[in-house]
Amino acid sequence: MSSVIAATRFSVLDRSRTRAGHPPAEALRDTVALAREAEGLGYHRFWVSEHHGVPGVAGSAPTVLAAAVAGATRSIRVGTGGVMLPNHQPLVVAEQFGVLESLFPGRIDMGLGRSVGFTDGVRKALGRDKDDAEDFAAQLGDLLGWFEGTSPTGVHARPAEGLRVPPFVLAMGEGARIAARAGLPMVIGDLRGREKMLRGIDQYRSLFRPSPWASEPYVVISGTVAVAGSPEAARRLLVPEAWAMAYSRTHGTFPPLAPAEEIQARTMTAKESDFYESGLAGHLAGTEGEVAHELETVLKETGADEVLVTTSSYDRTALLDSYRRLATLFAPRG
């Protein structure tokens, strides 16, 4: 076992991806079931995401889903990857996480992103626009202030005030600088854009200011990892998500996952094929030995403290097997 991999925490982010022919409710139940598996396998955290109006994603209310996950597990840390802060009032977010931390003390993480709705229609429905993402640093300061009891409004966030819910910033571009200046842990992806990721990590570490929330930089790298008995089987795991991305780029909507065999039998347009092949490339995929070698390289390059795995696939049995195989590569941690 690699000493670098053994010294690194591994966690799971599940986006509750829907599957063709299966109801959204099943995707949510699958997320909860995967959390139980991840806990038993020794993964450190289990996070859920926020997406609105996306046919291929059932996870629209991350704090609600996090409560279900935490209630179905015993020890694994549970959180969000993330709550998109521009979509919400910081007071409400503080209250939601205050309730979660009160119900599941010492197990809740608060992953925060700066994206707004996926389309103009979704943004309109949320009462937001693209410019709201520019206020993220101020919104983040307001949110942390509710926990610290420093809001100038005279209002107190109950039961959040005084609680310590670890905040993480999902860092895309400006996010790395915001995380560093706020003195917060950073989550950065994806693994395919290695050079961009390394620039973001270097910038984060150079600008980091210690805070009451973190005394030193903490880097979580995020991306797809697929492990199987053969390179071909690992690649097959990537096919449904790669096609969903290609379809969204060419048709304007992100669909439920389809079976790999069905996708591989399709006749794609040249544009679809280009996006599809691009979606298959650059992920950490292969046998245990192949993935271990690539992981060791990435971890040495980035100096990351943690890996957040975000793999999705139509075949739930193969997906669970991938997580089980990956777990054999690292030492279980509490």
Rounded to an integer, the average pLDDT of 105-109 is 98
Contact 200, 188 (CB under 8 A): yes
Model confidence at 332: pLDDT above 60: no
Which DSSP state fits 141? H
Q: Is the dihedral of CA 15, 21, 25, 27 positive or negative?
A: negative
pLDDT category at 119 given cuts 50, 70, 90 is low
Q: What is the mean pLDDT of residues 236-263?
A: 96
Residue 334 has pLDDT above 50, yes or no: no
Q: How far is CA 318 from the centre of its chain?
A: 20
Whether 183 shows a pLDDT value over 80: the answer reads yes
Q: What percent of the chain has pLDDT over 90?
A: 80
Mean pLDDT, residues 205-228: 97
| pLDDT tier, 130 (very low <50, low <70, confident <90, very high otherwise) | low
pLDDT tens string 44-58: 999 999 988 788 999
Structural domains of the chain sorted by starting position, each given as residue range(s) with its CATH number in brackets = 3-223+302-327 (3.20.20.30)
Instruction: State the pLDDT confidence band at 1, using cuts at 50, 70 and 90.
Output: low
| Cα 104 to the center of its chain, rounded Å | 20
The whole-model pTM stands at: 0.94
Confidence of residue 207 (pLDDT cuts 50, 70, 90): very high
Q: What is the pLDDT of residue 333?
A: 47
pLDDT on residue 138: 92
Using CA of residue 39, residue 31, residue 78, residue 281, what is the dihedral sign? positive
Query: For residues 329 and 332, which has the higher predicted lDDT (pLDDT)?
Result: 329
pLDDT 10s digits, 132-182: 556 899 999 999 999 999 887 888 999 999 999 999 999 877 889 999 999
- Per-residue confidence (pLDDT) for residue 123, from 0 to 100: 67
- Mean pLDDT, residues 299-317 taken together: 97
* Tens-digit pLDDT profile for residues 14-43: 999 999 999 999 999 999 999 999 999 999
| Number of neighbours of residue 150 by Cβ within 10 angstroms | 11
Which DSSP state fits 223? E
Look at residue 190 in the predicted model and tell me its pLDDT. Answer: 81
How many CB atoms are located within 10 Å of the residue 8 CB?
Answer: 22
pLDDT in the model for residue 286:
97
CA angle 25, 26, 30 (to 5 degrees): 120
Average pLDDT in the chain: 92
Show the DSSP H helices in the chain as ranges. Answer: 3-6, 24-41, 62-72, 90-103, 120-126, 136-148, 174-182, 194-207, 231-251, 260-264, 270-280, 288-302, 316-327
